[in-house]
């Protein structure tokens, strides 16, 4: 990856770990990273966790009291700011809890909750409105891959979610092939790079080369300590969105320290 982009290693806990488990997990993660002399300079990576909504206040309290080198975000956000939307969470509330990021359009939201590209575009706009950095997930199913090739669907999803934005939006894109999520079968580094490069080209078309060059593109889908280094060697892969392996602190910390295994 290009030197100017700080790698982002993001752990999506999905519906796992309550607020007490979150405290123990984040504490252990911060200690493990510290022991390993992890830092946030250009050589290090930024480490983020995405716990369930009900954990966020506890995580905020811990991270701010102990000044931990871990940032955090939510797994979803409402497109609305306030009002009669039972069960929804406003970006304003996430900002008040000092969330840095919010995941938008994870394939589980798209498929299990029927979230459409149009709705996701409104969620991206809501995140930006509240000063949160959207981590926009895009990715093709196995069927899409067979019918349209690897990049057509992710590129179309990216366009649909971002087309309404102007200027140089501060966003993160996560390429997550649906067939790789939770399957144990990650994309090869070449496959991840091919799509990430197309996504960057599309960002350049939408917002100019400078913004495209500054935007981090993550790969997600069965990332583990054993495959992160080879993925991170690709020039357009700037980090990872990690599901299952983020629940195991030792494994996740090892992923965050991928630089230690690059070149090995
Ligand atoms: P996985 O999930 O790492 O368990 O494949 C990735 C994700 O869903 O973000």
Query: pLDDT tens across 16-67, in order?
Result: 999 999 999 999 999 999 887 655 443 579 999 999 999 999 999 999 999 9
CA of 84 to the centre of ligand 1 (A): 32
Ligand 1 atom at shortest distance from the alpha carbon of 186: 5
pTM for this predicted structure: 0.95
- Ligand 1, residue 245: give the atom nearest the CA: 3
**Candidates 9, 10, 12: which one to mutate for ligand 1, based on the most atoms within 8 Å of Cβ?**
12
Query: 71-74 and 239-242: which strand pairing?
Result: unpaired
Phi/psi of residue 133, nearest 5 degrees: -95, 115
Over the stretch 93-127, which tens digit does the pLDDT of each residue have?
999 999 999 999 999 999 999 999 999 999 999 99
71 touches 100 (CB < 8 A): yes
Separation of CA 186 from chain center: 16
Mean pLDDT, the chain, whole residue set: 94
3-state helix, strand, coil in the chain (%, to 5): 45, 15, 40
- Residue 108, Cβ neighbours under 10 Å: how many? 20
CA of 37 to the centre of ligand 1 (A): 26
Compute the distance from residue 220 Cα to the ligand 1 centre, in Å: 6
Q: How far apart are the first and last CA of the chain?
A: 17
């Amino acid at each position: 990856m290009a030197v100017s982009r700080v790698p982002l290693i993001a752990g999506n806990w999905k519906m796992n770990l309550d607020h007490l488990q979150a405290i123990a997990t984040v504490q252990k993660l911060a200690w493990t990273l510290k022991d390993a002399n992890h830092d946030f300079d250009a050589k290090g990576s930024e480490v983020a966790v995405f716990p369930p909504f009900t954990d966020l206040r506890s995580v905020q309290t811990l991270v701010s009291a102990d000044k931990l080198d871990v940032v955090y975000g939510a797994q979803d956000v409402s497109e609305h700011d306030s009002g009669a939307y039972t069960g929804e969470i406003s970006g304003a509330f996430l900002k008040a809890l000092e969330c840095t990021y919010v995941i938008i359009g994870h394939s589980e939201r798209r498929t299990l909750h029927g979230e459409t590209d149009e709705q996701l575009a409104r969620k991206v706009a809501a995140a930006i409105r509240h000063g949160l950095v959207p981590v926009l997930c895009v990715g093709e199913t196995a069927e899409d891959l067979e019918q349209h090739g690897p990049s057509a669907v992710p590129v179309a999803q990216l366009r649909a979610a971002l087309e309404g934005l102007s200027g140089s939006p501060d966003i993160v894109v996560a390429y997550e092939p649906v067939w790789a999520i939770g399957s144990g079968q990650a994309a090869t580094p070449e496959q991840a790079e091919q799509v990430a490069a197309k996504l960057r080209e599309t960002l350049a078309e939408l917002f100019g080369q400078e913004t495209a060059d500054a935007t981090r593109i993550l790969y997600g889908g069965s990332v583990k300590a054993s495959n992160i280094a080879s993925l991170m060697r690709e020039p357009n892969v700037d980090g990872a969105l990690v599901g299952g392996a983020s629940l195991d602190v030792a494994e996740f910390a090892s992923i965050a320290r991928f630089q230690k295994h690059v070149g090995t």
